[in-house]
Amino acid sequence: MEHETAWKKYDEADIEALEHLAAEYIDFISDNKTERECAATALAMAEAAGYRPLAMAVSEGRTLKPGDKVWALVHGKALILVQLGAGPLTAGLNVLGAHIDSPRLDIKQNPLYEANDFALLDTHYYGGIKHYQWVTLPLALHGVVAKTDGTVVNVQVGDDPSDPVFCVTDLLIHLASQQMGKKASEVVEGEALDLLVGNRPLLIEKDKDAQPESSAADERPAFEKLADKEPVKAFALKLLAGKYDISEEDFLSAELEVVPAGRARDLGFDRSMVIGYGQDDRVCAFTSLAAQLAMADQVLDKTAVCVLVDKEEIGSVGATGMASRFFENTIAEIMELAGEGGPLPLARALAASSMLSSDVSAGFDPAHAGVFEAKNSAFLGRGLVFNKYTGARGKSGSNDASAEYMARIRRIMDDAGVSFQTAELGRVDAGGGGTIAYIPAEHGMDVIDSGVAVLSMHSPWEVTSKADIYEAFKGYEAFLKNA
């Protein structure tokens, strides 16, 4: 069984809608390269569509009714959007769930040092990366610095055309004979992924008439005191103090992420694809969000939910990962305000729910065909991908959707004219991976993985098809209306 490319069915109106959606998507992933940025932008879009804070409804004791739209933000890194439907919540919810974190380099808490006239920042990689892919690229720095006075400083350097960029260096080929003989996993070690941030020393003019430092309190800024021993580090600290009013100690309470610099772009002579950072899983997060917001003025039979979560790349752990209780707690609050509160109604609602775990699939790559089994692979341009199961080898760590649920999803997609395909994650013994699907499935709800095929997944620059982005949006919209 082979699925045709979705491009063959499009008329001019489809192409116009597809290109409009792709342009919005390119802007979204170019402007939002961290989970905090994605959550903040998604929240702003939701509020423009009429969503209001759940916390305000709770504090006011306001009754929620069909058509009401509320949001809940978790530590600035995870977001839940809920639009109440006409039916009772105990009849179940239609849930789209995607993650907004992506593989990257994180700045360590004590990162800044000087070595041989260079200033560098020490990093710790996040998620599954090939270390060697992160060298000699223009890199940007995004994140926040929380100060002890309670202020939080937003940092973003490297993506404005006027900004400087940073990089991780590599060994010149002329001296790399030993390096080239290593396994790919050892060519660049994790501790070698340090970010080059400066080479200019801070020069302090000596005042001949000044008292010796030992005879009076030294009231100079910390970076000036450092200038004699580590002048390049001192100059970097001076720049940080001037632009952001932060000191070296403030790195202790910072969350700074190193990401590829530059915007996502159209790919190919035909502009049929998108190349950009973080498409795993922001391509599914964006299309899920767009589908949820497209429902804003409609009356739905079932309550529609879009949940955008953090930490999937490291196991969905922590307060902002899907394994925390924020999803259940948020639904419990909503059910209380809708007059359906209580542990048993909540359990019934979750068990009766249907979910698309919106996560990307490995796209078939002819350059690496040997790790794929073509009959059960996802191909770029052939539409939304459903993975009945993921996991590794013997389906370890997988949510395996039921045949009945798969049949129901097929009917919904067929009725809506959505191009879709089914796939596995490569050959059975080639490797594997997981998603958030198994976590909500623990409540007894129907869950299946569903997303967009990606080439070069987890690399700094990933590739998707505009047709698949368009079909994913249409499929998610159909699911919210008809599941």
Nearest-CA neighbor of 256 among 112, 99, 147, 109?
109
Query: What residues does 199 pair with on adjacent strands?
Result: none
Mean pLDDT of 427-441: 84
- Token output for 55: 């916390």
Per-residue pLDDT tens over the stretch 322-337 = 999 999 999 999 999 9
Q: How far apart are CA 100 and CA 310, in angstroms?
A: 6
Nearest-CA neighbor of 143 among 25, 255, 266?
255
Residue 161 has pLDDT above 70, yes or no: yes
**Average pLDDT of the residues of the chain:** 94
Answer yes or no: are the C-beta atoms of 454 and 463 closer than 8 Å: yes
Which string of DSSP letters, residue by residue, matches 384-448? EEEES--EETTTBT-----HHHHHHHHHHHHHHT--EEE--SSSTTT-EE--STHHHHTTT-EEE
Give percent of the chain above pLDDT 90.
Answer: 87
Domains located in the chain, CATH noted: 6-102+277-482 (3.40.630.10), 104-205+218-260 (2.30.250.10)
Q: Which residues contact 432 (CB under 8 A, 6 or more apart)?
A: 390, 391, 392, 393, 396, 397, 425, 426
Q: How far apart are CA 271 and CA 269, in angstroms?
A: 6
pTM: 0.94
Q: How far apart are CA 88 and CA 93, in angstroms?
A: 9
Per-residue pLDDT tens over the stretch 255-300 = 999 999 999 999 999 999 999 999 999 999 999 999 999 999 998 9
Answer yes or no: are the C-beta atoms of 263 and 338 closer than 8 Å: no
Provide the pLDDT confidence category of residue 420 given band limits of 50, 70 and 90.
very high
Measured over the CA atoms of residue 310, residue 313, residue 316 and residue 319, the dihedral's sign is negative
Give percent of the chain above pLDDT 70.
Answer: 97
Which string of DSSP letters, residue by residue, matches 223-238? HHHHTTT-HHHHHHHH
Q: How far is CA 165 from the centre of its chain?
A: 22
- Token output for 136: 């000699």
Per-residue pLDDT tens over the stretch 343-361 = 999 999 999 999 999 999 9
Per-residue pLDDT tens over the stretch 445-480 = 999 999 999 999 999 999 999 999 999 999 999 999
Mean pLDDT of 47-71: 97
Q: How far apart are CA 161 and CA 178, in angstroms?
A: 38
Q: How far apart are CA 475 and CA 469, in angstroms?
A: 10
Query: What residues does 451 pair with on adjacent strands?
Result: 385
Q: How far apart are CA 389 and CA 285, in angstroms?
A: 20
Q: Which residues contact 354 (CB under 8 A, 6 or more apart)?
A: 92, 93, 94, 95, 405, 408, 445, 446, 447, 479, 483
Q: Which residues contact 265 (CB under 8 A, 6 or more apart)?
A: 26, 274, 275, 276
